[in-house]
């Protein structure tokens, strides 16, 4: 049977079980008496064992078998899930994950890779339970079966007419010969009375069962019928039946066990109700639809001048394209738990190695994000979680001294807020240490001593995410002093999102990722500056305004806009882009950017309207491109750069 | 008309594989169950000619499901799907009313033989 077609299915299902094992081990660790956790673990490992054996992945099957063995002992109350056992099972789970991936990738495995972990699991089983071969419940007393047992001698009170001696040999190829023998005996009991059974039914289940059983059957049924009935138990190689007390068998026969249908049928009949689609194909679809959306917008503009009938058709096509786009975007959505899932284990391991105690809470794991976005946020989130564990949450002693519970709380939550997805990492740790951050920012030349004095706590928190705050050396240093939140912020901005940090000294830190729900197509505001068109994703556009001269003023020499009863810093895109030209006469057009809690006005030459744009990302790390998150083709066919609101604000703040 | 089958296993992988083997042999898969409870419900609903039953499943295991099913329909034809090292459980399942068993890893020929025994 062609197995490769099942490899994908095996992989995805095994991954789910590995993930479940991690979760259940965490549950068991916090509640060693949880029966549900033990049962769930046993099932998960058992399922992986069955699947991997079917696929012929020996290493995976061996490993799963050893884990199952340990868990079975726990299940039966023979072992207690102490720290050592849990750690060993965690190690087993890691090795299991690795061996599954390896097996699927390379098609086969030799088992060498898992040998150390298998040995560790075995050793543990050995130490905790010295003699643990499963004892037969009722051992067959003195009767130890000889290698080739003779037909049983008859009981003294044997009834000569109906008594017969029976010997049954199970096909040695049978996977469970003991069960076959049991079934044959059971069939015999259906025909009459069975006595002098040897070995006993309990002994048949032992590993050293030789595959032959003997018994005396008293039955009025004809011999050939008896034989047929016994053979019907399946996988029976030989049946010998001897009437009465005589020694010679009267009937023997070999099972003509030619395997019917041995020509294994390859190829699946395709009963799948779900199909798996290569993400690249979905990407291509999204790009295609994106182009279609652009054409749609162009058609809409032309429709105004067209025949009413043509205009109607264009309208209808436009609507259908919109629906198609929604469908495809929907097909790309995946719940965040697919990424969150591995975090509990990660937090547990990190907290342990740091000697900290943490309750890790996950909320909103059903919230959906575009698949490609999901793939991108994993690493940034790991950074944020590690950062909280490293720098936020204090050691138990420190927490006690501060009058807090020894166990800290780390909360990871996802929520939908308007068109954005907000993912937040919150801890109840010590908060951002102002002095530490400022001295580092001073050292890195990000702020002057004078600026530092006037900075609010929020400004200080924002400093951490500014490019250049952490040095390259600390970026990769996960467990050390800095985690490189500026790198996280840059990454998140490249996704069209925003990282915000708020902190209350002594009470905790909250780090918030604001993300657009989808990556590829966004609604954007088009603006003109110095003859060029730029796109601003609506995610960060609060409103657009035309400011009258009296609505513009200055505070401390910096321009501001008076908007209703609000005073908003006002920057000019012309200045930020170092463009040429002069400001047009009349009312001044401005976009109010909203990035987190901040609202900032951005003056432009003209507001051109909204459009859906297909984002073509480019590497935004190069210095000159820092203000842009990508490029797009507009519905009139011209290219435009996409402005990055977060970077604009950063540039405005530093007065570039 | 082809004979109908209910497949009970908590792993999609296993259900797919058994389903493929049986479909190719001309059977019609009428339902699948992921738990013992579902197995009993689906049996009631579909009265299939054959049931393949995994032993280890969440929410009522396969053996209890066999008990429940045969209690309501003593003529139910159930094939147990077990793993190596589950002799005792398979025997329990047979005592509970299962007609035969196959052991993972499955060989299609062995599965079909066992099916023949169950239906024969």
In angstroms, rounded to a whole number, what is the distance separating the alpha carbons of residues A482 and A471? 9
- Test A205 with B87 for CB contact under 8 angstroms: yes
Return d(Cα A551, Cα B73) in angstroms, integer: 84
Does the pLDDT of residue A625 top 70, yes or no? no
Q: What is the DSSP string of A207-266?
A: TT--SEEEEEEE--S-HHHHHHHHHTTSSEEEEEEEETT-SS-SB--B-----TT-SPPP
Q: Among all chains, which residue has been given the structure tokens 């000294």? A: A505
Is B101 within 8 Å of A179 when comparing Cβ atoms?
Answer: yes
Q: How high is the pLDDT of residue A101?
A: 87
pLDDT at A161: 63
* Residue A274 confidence (pLDDT): 59
What pLDDT was estimated at residue A519? 65
User: Residue A470: what pLDDT?
Assistant: 62
What is the pLDDT, as a whole number, of residue A428? 94
pLDDT of A34-53, one tens digit each? 888 998 999 899 889 888 88
Mean pLDDT of chain B: 91
CA A279 to chain centre: 16
Bridge pairing between strands A639-643 and A558-563: unpaired
Angle made by CA atoms A73, A77, A80, in degrees to the nearest 5: 80
pLDDT above 90 coverage of chain A, percent:
15
DSSP state of A299: H
**Per-residue confidence (pLDDT) for residue A138, from 0 to 100:** 37
pLDDT confidence of residue A291: 76
What residues does A170 pair with on adjacent strands? A236
| Per-residue pLDDT at A1 | 58
Distance CA A111, CA A118 (A): 10
Q: What is the pLDDT of residue A212?
A: 87
Total length of chain B: 120
Which one of B53, B91, B95, B96 would you mutate to disrupt binding with A, by most A Cβ within 10 Å of its Cβ?
B91
A139: pLDDT confidence band, cut at 50, 70 and 90? very low
Return d(Cα A627, Cα A590) in angstroms, integer: 18
Average pLDDT over every residue of A233-242 = 86
Distance from the B50 Cα atom to the nearest Cα atom in chain A, whole angstroms: 17
In the prediction, which pLDDT does A140 show?
37
Check residues A25 and A136 and name the one with the higher pLDDT: A25
Cβ neighbours for A159, distance < 8 A, ≥ 6 positions apart: A218
- Among A161-165, A204-208, A620-624, B74-78, which stretch is predicted with the lowest mean pLDDT? A620-624
Residue range A103-118, pLDDT digits in tens:
888 766 666 778 888 8
The nearest CA of chain B is from the CA of A269 a distance in Å of 6
First to last CA, chain A: 67
Q: Which residue has the higher pLDDT, A369 or A491?
A: A369
Which among A6, A182, A262 has the least Cβ separation from residue B16?
A6
Question: What DSSP string describes A59-98?
Answer: HHHHHHHHHHHHHHHHHTTSS---HHHHHHHHHHHHHHHH
- Specify the DSSP element, H or E, that contains A108: none
Q: Annotate A527-545 with b (16+ C-beta within 10 A) or e (fewer).
A: bbbeeebbbbbebbbbebb
For B93, the closest chain A residue by CA position comes to A179
Token pair 């049928």: residue: A265
The answer to whether residues A414 and A422 touch, using CB atoms and an 8 Å cutoff, is yes
Q: Which residue of A has its CA nearest to B60?
A: A39
Cis check for the bond before A199: say yes or no (omega within 30 of 0): yes
Give pLDDT, residue A423: 94
B2 three-class SS: coil
If 0-12 CB within 10 Å is exposed, 13-18 middle and 19+ buried, where does residue A410 land? Answer: buried
pLDDT tens-digit series, residues A633-649: 777 778 889 888 877 88
Q: Tell me the pLDDT tens digit for each residue of B17-50.
A: 999 999 999 999 999 999 999 999 999 999 999 9
Residues of B with CB under 8 A from a CB of A: 10-14, 16-17, 19-21, 23-25, 29, 56-58, 82-88, 90-91, 94, 100-101, 103-110, 112-114, 116-117, 120
For chain B, the first-to-last Cα distance in angstroms comes to: 17
Pick from A186, A205, A268: which is nearest to B94 by CB? Answer: A186
Distance in Å, alpha carbon of B69 to nearest chain A alpha carbon: 20
pLDDT of amino acid A244: 64
Prediction pTM value? 0.52
In this model, does residue A256 exceed pLDDT 60?
no
Rounded to whole angstroms, the Cα distance separating B6 from B46 reads 8
Yes or no, beta carbons of B87 and A259 under 8 Å apart: no
Structure confidence at residue A382 (pLDDT): 87
Q: Which residue has the tokens 């579902």?
A: B38
Least confident of A284-288, A378-382, A384-388, B24-28: A284-288
Q: Note the pLDDT of residue A263.
A: 34
Largest CA distance in chain B: 37
Counted across chains A and B, CB pairs separated by less than 8 A come out at: 110
pLDDT level of residue A160 (50, 70, 90 thresholds): low
Mean pLDDT, all residues of chain A: 78
What is the predicted pLDDT for the residue at B9?
94
Which chain A residues have a beta carbon less than 8 Å from that of B16?
6, 9, 268, 271-272
Is residue A629 within 8 A of residue A612, CB to CB? The reply is: no
CB contact (8 A) between residue B101 and residue A176: yes
Residue A230 has pLDDT above 60, yes or no: yes
At B104, the pLDDT band (50, 70, 90 cuts) reads: confident
Q: What's the confidence (pLDDT) of residue A130?
A: 42
């Amino acid at each position: 049977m062609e197995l490769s077609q099942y490899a994908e299915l095996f992989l995805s299902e095994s991954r789910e079980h590995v993930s479940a094992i991690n979760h259940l081990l965490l549950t068991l660790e916090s509640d060693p008496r949880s029966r549900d956790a033990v049962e769930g673990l046993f099932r998960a490992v058992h399922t992986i064992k069955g699947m991997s054996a079917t696929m012929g992945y020996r290493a995976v099957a061996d490993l799963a078998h050893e884990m199952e063995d340990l868990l079975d002992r726990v299940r039966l109350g023979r072992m207690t899930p102490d720290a050592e056992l849990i750690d060993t099972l965690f190690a087993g789970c890691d090795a299991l994950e690795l061996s599954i991936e390896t097996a699927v990738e390379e098609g086969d495995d030799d088992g060498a890779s898992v040998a150390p972990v298998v040995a560790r699991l075995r050793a543990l089983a050995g130490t905790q339970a010295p003699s643990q071969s499963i004892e037969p419940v009722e051992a067959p007393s003195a009767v130890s079966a000889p290698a080739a047992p003779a037909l049983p001698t008859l009981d003294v009170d044997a009834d000569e007419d109906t008594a017969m001696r029976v010997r049954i040999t199970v096909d040695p190829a049978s996977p469970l010969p003991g069960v076959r023998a049991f079934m044959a005996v059971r069939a015999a009991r259906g025909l009459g009375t069975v006595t002098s059974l040897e070995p006993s039914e309990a002994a048949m289940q032992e590993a050293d069962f030789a595959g032959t059983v003997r018994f005396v059957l008293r039955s009025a049924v004809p011999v050939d019928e008896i034989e047929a009935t016994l053979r019907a138990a399946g996988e029976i190689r030989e049946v010998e039946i001897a009437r009465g007390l005589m020694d010679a068998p009267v009937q023997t026969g070999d099972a003509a066990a030619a395997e019917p249908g041995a020509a294994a049928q390859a190829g699946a009949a395709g009963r799948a109700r779900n199909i798996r689609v290569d993400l690249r194909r979905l990407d291509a679809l999204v790009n295609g639809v994106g182009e279609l959306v652009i054409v749609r917008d162009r058609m809409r503009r032309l429709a105004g001048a067209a025949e009413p009938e043509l205009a109607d058709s264009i309208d209808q096509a436009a609507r259908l394209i919109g629906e198609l786009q929604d469908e495809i975007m929907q097909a790309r959505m995946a719940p965040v738990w697919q990424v969150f899932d591995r975090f509990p284990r990660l937090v547990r391991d990190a907290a342990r190695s740091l000697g900290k105690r943490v309750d890790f809470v996950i909320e909103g794991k059903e919230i959906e994000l575009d698949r490609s976005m999901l793939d991108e946020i994993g690493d940034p989130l790991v950074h944020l979680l590690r950062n909280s564990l490293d720098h936020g949450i204090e050691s138990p002693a420190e927490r006690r001294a501060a009058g807090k519970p020894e166990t800290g709380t780390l909360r990871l939550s996802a929520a939908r807020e308007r068109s954005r997805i907000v993912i937040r990492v919150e801890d109840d740790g010590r908060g951002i240490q102002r002095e530490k951050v400022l001295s580092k920012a001073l050292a890195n030349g990000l702020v002057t001593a004078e600026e530092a004095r006037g900075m609010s706590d929020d400004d200080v928190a924002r400093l951490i995410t500014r490019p250049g705050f952490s040095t390259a050396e600390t970026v990769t240093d996960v467990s050390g002093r800095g985690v490189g939140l500026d790198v996280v912020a840059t990454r998140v901005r490249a996704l069209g999102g925003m990282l915000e940090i708020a902190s209350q000294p002594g009470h905790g830190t909250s780090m918030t990722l604001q993300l657009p729900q989808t990556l590829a197509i966004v609604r954007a505001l088009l603006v003109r500056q110095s003859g060029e068109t730029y796109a601003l994703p609506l995610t960060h556009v609060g409103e657009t305004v035309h400011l009258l001269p009296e609505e513009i003023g200055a505070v401390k020499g910096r321009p501001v806009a008076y908007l209703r009863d609000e005073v908003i810093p006002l920057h000019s895109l012309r200045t930020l882009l170092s463009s040429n030209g002069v400001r047009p006469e009349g009312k001044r057009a401005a976009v109010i950017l909203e990035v987190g809690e901040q609202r900032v006005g951005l003056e432009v030459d003209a507001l051109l309207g909204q459009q859906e744009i297909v984002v073509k990302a480019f590497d935004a790390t190069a210095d000159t491109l820092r203000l842009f998150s990508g490029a797009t083709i507009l519905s009139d066919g011209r290219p435009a750069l996409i402005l990055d609101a977060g970077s604009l604000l950063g540039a405005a703040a530093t007065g570039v | 008309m082809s004979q109908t089958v209910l497949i009970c296993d908590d792993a999609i992988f296993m259900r797919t594989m058994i389903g493929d083997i049986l479909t190719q042999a001309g059977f019609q898969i009428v339902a699948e169950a992921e738990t013992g409870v579902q197995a009993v419900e689906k049996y009631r609903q579909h009265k299939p000619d054959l049931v393949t039953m995994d032993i280890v499943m969440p929410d009522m295991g396969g053996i209890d499901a066999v008990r429940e099913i045969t209690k309501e329909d003593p003529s139910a034809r159930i094939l147990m799907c077990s793993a190596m090292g589950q002799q005792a459980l398979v025997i329990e399942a047979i005592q509970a009313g299962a007609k035969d068993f196959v052991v993972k890893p499955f060989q299609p020929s062995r599965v079909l033989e066992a099916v023949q025994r169950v239906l024969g």
